[in-house]
Amino acid sequence: MPALACCVDAATIPPGYALTGDSYLPLPETFSGNFPGTNITTTIPTSNHPSILPSLWSPSLSESLYKINGWGAPYFSVNSTGNISVHPHGLNTLPHQEIDLMKVVKKVSEPKSTGGLGLPLPLIVRLPDVLKNRLESLQYAFDSAIKSQGYDSHYQGVYPVKCNQDRFIVEDVVEFGSAYRFGLEAGSKPELLLAMSCLCKGSPDALLICNGYKDAEYISLALVARKLHLNTVIVLEQEEELDLVIDISRKLDVRPVIGMRAKLRTKHAGHFGATSGEKGKFGLTTMQILRVAKKLEKARMLDCLQLLHFHIGSQIPTTELLADGVSEATQIYCELVRLGAGMKVIDVGGGLGIDYDGSHSANSDNSVGYGLEEYASMVVQAIRFACDRKLVKHPVICSESGRALVSHHSILIFEAVSATAAEAPSVSSLGLDLEYFVEGLTDEARADYHNLTTAATQRDFDTCLVHANQLKNHCVEEFKEGNLDLEHLAAVDGLCEILAKAMGAFDSVRTYHVNLSVFTSIPDFWGIGQQFPIVPIHKLDQRPGVKGVLSDLTCDSDGKVDKFISGESSLPLHELEGKGGSVNGVSGGGGYYLGMFLGGAYQEALGGLHNLFGGPSVVRVSQSDGPHSFAVTRAVPGLSCAEVLRVMQHEPEFMFETLKHRVEECGHGGSSEDEQDVEEEDEMARVTLVSGLARSFHNMPYLATTTTCSSYVSGGGFCYQEYCNDDNNNNNCSAVVGGGDDEQQWTYCCA
């Protein structure tokens, strides 16, 4: 019987079937083996050879492979130990100030008994020093452009809180930006309330920009903010809002400051350009702008019109497009000055993009073709040129650069807990004698097999693959009809995989299962295809040996990451230590941690509760002069199972009581013959089960360490896990009982 001669020496594999696109993978070694029923030895390329890894890899090669020097500069690099290092002050970071991310993970995730904080993963690490540096860098870019171009006014930005409404982020922006008159932008009533509260501690000149659709309550609230001496501007998104502003301001006896959002003709066609152009969602047309101006003049309030706002779209790809939009808007601004409006501010909106893929390309939705300095220079130049031509006084320049401010300062860290095997089976593992295997096939399948072996003998590799696919398809159909047993079908699958691997056509991409919910933590990837840099945060002094995609915990086929900033459908990854990997480093010889970077904008605000996975744990990490260069100034665990259930209108306390009564009703007697011993064993079993149930309500929904899963089988009672939650910004965190005020409702037994 002809042998499967298609499994040839590695040296004779045709170039078209080589492992193309795998330049980051180790050099192949060979596998030798015999096919059943044959005397032919095959040599097949296999995965990495450990002995070649140290001499062929270095941290600098990892920086190049993952493009860290592109998207990460000046905040992230790979240190000499192969870990991701944070430069909290950007280019001004001194060597001793660098923060090793793995040391942060170790401090946060290790048990309190060993000096850690006992906080479960996944984890968001917030770096306020990076946020401060971004704000200062943006301010410096505009200040430099204004000075160099002789611009006769100043810049003062606002942070759009919709990007991330977290209290400490907003408070940091106000604190860091107070010296620069940095303000806030709100787009809803609750955002306006938090902005008002935070700006009470900010600069009195800081702008409070009120965007979004508005009803009477929203406008009343904004006018109250003005009565509180906050520099509030109500930006009209619809012409009808003006009537409410005029009416309510008179009732409250407040002179409002009014802005208008212009709907420009300028539009970019990129991924984020849908909100721009004449068909955009927000803004007033030229006809509406004129009607608003005339109505204000009639109401003797034209001096109240002081700001013009526009928005071309997020991630503006080029400064040429930016200049086009700014020039158009400035012409409208100048015309409003001519009509007698009290214009003072031009708000260029959002759109300042960041380089997600490190390519510095204007042709990619994941990148932009400019930096902060080029952006600021173009804005100042376009406004100055248009105003000078019309002899209009230079306005205050405002921007709403949220993405560019907060994206870099937040890192999502998660763990790969297992990976699927991607190696083709060995010949010996097929488990069937070849002659028996062939005799069990149908006539059509047997013909496919003979054609396959003939093509293999002739080294006709294309025909080989065709007949292999036909053989597999025929066998699948026969199996569905009940004419082929499972062993034969498995043998066919195995033979086809061996053939594909021998020819370099085997799909070697592995699926890494990660302790994460894509829907909760990376919603923009699922919703709009936004790609973020994802990188192992350690082992970067070692060559990655496999390609992988990331599969999350949710019961949804969309819960995976299979597109990466490199343009590839897989990511270079390292082998997991130990069989099947580990969970939070407890088993398998240590965890494998990855970080998603540049995700500080929108991801937390947009994340949902798919499968009732709540948000990750969050820590605030500041640079310090301590032994590890950092201090954890705040640590908060992610939502517990009880908390996410409560969000969906369930009542966890009653649920627990129901389950507790069911445990008591069922009874769990022991095996002892002594009646008293039986009662004691029965009571201990109930104690154990109820304690475990209580713990389950209070634990996070994500995968937990082995130690936290033992409450159903141990004899101890339930005790709350403690977390660090200190508002005093020091590293001597005080413990907070996980159950909080509800502790007594949940205790059933004593430990």
Q: For 466-500, write each residue's pLDDT tens digit.
A: 888 888 898 898 889 888 888 888 888 887 877 77
Same domain, 231 and 155: yes
Identify whether 744 is part of a domain: no
- Decide if 79 contacts 63 (C-beta within 8 A): no
Q: Kindly state the helix (H) or strand (E) to which residue 100 belongs, with its residue range.
A: strand 99-100
Q: How confident is the model at residue 213 (pLDDT cuts 50, 70, 90)?
A: very high
- Decide if 121 contacts 414 (C-beta within 8 A): yes
Q: What is the pLDDT of residue 749?
A: 32
The average pLDDT across 384-404 equals: 97
Same domain, 367 and 483: no
- Decide if 571 contacts 550 (C-beta within 8 A): yes
Q: What is the pLDDT of residue 469?
A: 86
Q: How confident is the model at residue 426 (pLDDT cuts 50, 70, 90)?
A: low
Q: How confident is the model at residue 257 (pLDDT cuts 50, 70, 90)?
A: very high
Q: What residues does 124 pair with on adjacent strands?
A: 412, 618
* Domain termination residue (choose one: 341, 372, 406): 406
Q: Kindly state the helix (H) or strand (E) to which residue 129 belongs, with its residue range.
A: helix 128-148
The average pLDDT across 682-692 equals: 88
Percent of the chain at pLDDT > 90 equals: 60
Q: How confident is the model at residue 12 (pLDDT cuts 50, 70, 90)?
A: very low
Same domain, 558 and 475: no
Q: What is the pLDDT of residue 677?
A: 67
Who has greater pLDDT, 588 or 130?
130
The average pLDDT across 401-411 equals: 96
Same domain, 401 and 479: no
Identify whether 639 is part of a domain: yes
Q: Give the domain CATH number at 525.
A: 2.40.37.10
Q: How far apart are CA 385 and CA 391, in angstroms?
A: 10
Least Cα distance to 181 among 129, 231, 131 occurs for 231
* Angstrom distances, CA of residue 460 to CA of 7, 20, 63, 406: 12, 20, 41, 56
Q: Give the domain CATH number at 138.
A: 3.20.20.10
How many secondary structure helices (H) and strands (E) does the chain include? Answer: 24, 25
Terminal alpha carbon distance of the chain: 70
What would the pLDDT profile of 57-72 be if each residue is shown by its tens digit? 999 999 999 999 999 9
* Domain termination residue (choose one: 375, 406, 437): 406
Q: What is the 3-state secondary structure (H, E, C) of 511-576?
A: EEEECCCHHHHCHHHHHHCCCCCEEECCCCCCCCCEEEEEECCCCCCCCEECCCCCCCCCEEECCC
275 CB contacts (<8 Å, ≥6 apart)? 281, 282, 311, 313, 314
What is the span of the domain harbouring residue 657? 68-127+408-422+507-576+590-664
Same domain, 178 and 155: yes
Q: What is the pLDDT of residue 432?
A: 58
Same domain, 400 and 413: no
* Residue 522 in this model has a pLDDT that exceeds 60: yes
Question: Taking phi first (over 0 means left), then psi (-120 to 50 degrees means alpha), and beta for anything else, what does residue 351 get?
Answer: left
Q: What is the pLDDT of residue 631?
A: 95
Q: How confident is the model at residue 685 (pLDDT cuts 50, 70, 90)?
A: confident
* Residue 716 in this model has a pLDDT that exceeds 70: no
Q: What is the pLDDT of residue 585?
A: 39
> What are φ and ψ of residue 614, in 5° steps?
-85, -170
Q: Kindly state the helix (H) or strand (E) to which residue 620 belongs, with its residue range.
A: strand 617-623
Q: What is the pLDDT of residue 366?
A: 87
Same domain, 166 and 270: yes
* Residue 241 in this model has a pLDDT that exceeds 50: yes
* 21 class by beta-carbon count within 10 Å (0-12 exposed, 13-18 middle, 19+ buried): exposed
The average pLDDT across 138-159 equals: 98
Same domain, 304 and 354: yes
Identify whether 449 is part of a domain: yes
Who has greater pLDDT, 710 or 437?
437
Identify whether 584 is part of a domain: no
Same domain, 327 and 346: yes
Same domain, 343 and 213: yes
* Residue 702 in this model has a pLDDT that exceeds 50: yes
CA angle (339, 342, 347) in 5-degree steps:
100
The average pLDDT across 736-750 equals: 36
The tokens for 345 are 């501010």
pTM of the model: 0.83
* Domain termination residue (choose one: 604, 635, 664): 664
Q: Domain count for the chain, please give it.
A: 3
Q: How far apart are CA 314 and CA 274, in angstroms?
A: 9
Number of residues assigned to the chain: 751
Identify whether 533 is part of a domain: yes
Q: What is the pLDDT of residue 272?
A: 58
Same domain, 385 and 270: yes
* Residue 640 in this model has a pLDDT that exceeds 60: yes
Q: What is the pLDDT of residue 33?
A: 38
Who has greater pLDDT, 536 or 679?
536
Identify whether 727 is part of a domain: no
Percent of the chain at pLDDT > 70 equals: 79
Identify whether 456 is part of a domain: yes
Catalytic residue list: 555
Q: Edge to edge, what strands does the sheet with 84-86 contain? A: 76-78, 84-86, 99-100
Identify whether 342 is part of a domain: yes
* 551 class by beta-carbon count within 10 Å (0-12 exposed, 13-18 middle, 19+ buried): buried
Same domain, 373 and 345: yes
The average pLDDT across 544-553 equals: 93
3-state secondary structure of 185: strand
Q: How far apart are CA 71 and CA 66, in angstroms?
A: 9
- What does pLDDT average to over the chain? 83
